[in-house]
Amino acid sequence: MSKKRAGNKEFSPEEKVEILKDISVIGNVSKVAQKWGVSRQTIYNWKAERSELDDQIILRENKPDFDSKTLTEIDKYRDVLSDLGTLEQRKEKMSAKVEFMLMKITTLLEEHPDLDAIHPKDLSKIMKDLHDVRKELSNEPTIIIEYKNKVREQTLQVLQDFLNLDQLREFAQRMEAIEADYEVV
């Protein structure tokens, strides 16, 4: 491993652990700090967070392999979503766009020089499609509902293994109360 300066480039969790292992080999924190070009305090900080470093290494080893193009695309998508906001904010923006389109199309239709030339079925279909999109955006996506139900079922299954029937009923009542609070918000 090449020598890096802590100020210029961040050490990976694996490199930090290797540096900490160097202390037991060399037996002197100052010499290890000098060898790796970091301060003694940095090494002491790494020692204090050793278990976190080990956890990071385990997570990195268990991380699925993606090619760089896929990772780049995921990063782009994440950036787009973060720019657009939360799910509710995105739905609100999409609804506003649909409302704008609906208003614009309605205005164009009203200003059309020969409205009779457009077949009534075509007009009806345009308006119905826009209304359906607006209606769908106002509802919670089906995938989220399915996910919530699946998590709820799995949680209750696990709890059945550990709780008696009265405790399970009390848990279900408390969860319903929590969900009711969030629905109000």
* Number of CB atoms found within 10 A of residue 38's CB: 20
Rounded average pLDDT over 73-90: 75
pLDDT per position as a tens digit, 161-185:
777 788 878 877 887 777 766 655 4
- Among 12-16, 64-68, 109-113, 124-128, top mean pLDDT goes to 12-16
Q: What is the predicted pLDDT for the residue at 1?
A: 44
Instruction: Indicate the DSSP class of residue 65.
Output: P
pLDDT digits (tens, 9 = 90+) for 12-46: 888 888 888 888 888 888 888 888 888 889 888 88
From the list 181, 182, 172, 169, the residue with the least C-alpha distance to 152 is: 172
Q: Which amino acid is at 8?
A: N
Angle at CA of residue 52, ends 48 and 55, nearest 5°? 150
Residue 153: Cβ within 10 Å count = 10
Mean pLDDT over 131-148 rounds to 67
**pTM metric for this prediction:** 0.31
pLDDT for the residue 116: 75
